[in-house]
Amino acid sequence: MEKDHLITMANQIGSFFKSYPDQEYAANEIASHMKRFWAPKMRNMIKDIVATSDADSLDDIVRIAIKKYL
């Protein structure tokens, strides 16, 4: 799976939840969505991305969600 595609998917999920006033709740929901619907390999890839400079392509809340809750 291409990195860019995964980043796009992650940011799309983020764009839905980030409208919630409680950003902690939003971050948790982003990670929860990935856990429920993404295959482990995809989750591992996105976690790896967060650890590299590609993380800049992720929205802040998505990055937080992955680091903190995934």
Site for another protein contains 47 (CB under 8 A):
no
Asked if residues 42 and 1 have their Cβ atoms less than 8 Å apart, the reply is yes
Report the alpha-carbon distance of residue 20 to residue 26 in Å, rounded.
Answer: 6
Asked if residues 40 and 48 have their Cβ atoms less than 8 Å apart, the reply is no
Site for another protein contains 33 (CB under 8 A):
yes
59 DSSP 8-state letter: -
Site for another protein contains 46 (CB under 8 A):
no
Report the alpha-carbon distance of residue 52 to residue 26 in Å, rounded.
Answer: 23
- Minimum distance from residue 43 beta carbon to another protein (Å): 9
Candidates 5, 51, 52, 68; binder of another protein (CB under 8 A) is 5
Stretch that binds another protein, among 40-48, 52-60, 61-69 (CB under 8 A): 40-48
- Minimum distance from residue 57 beta carbon to another protein (Å): 14
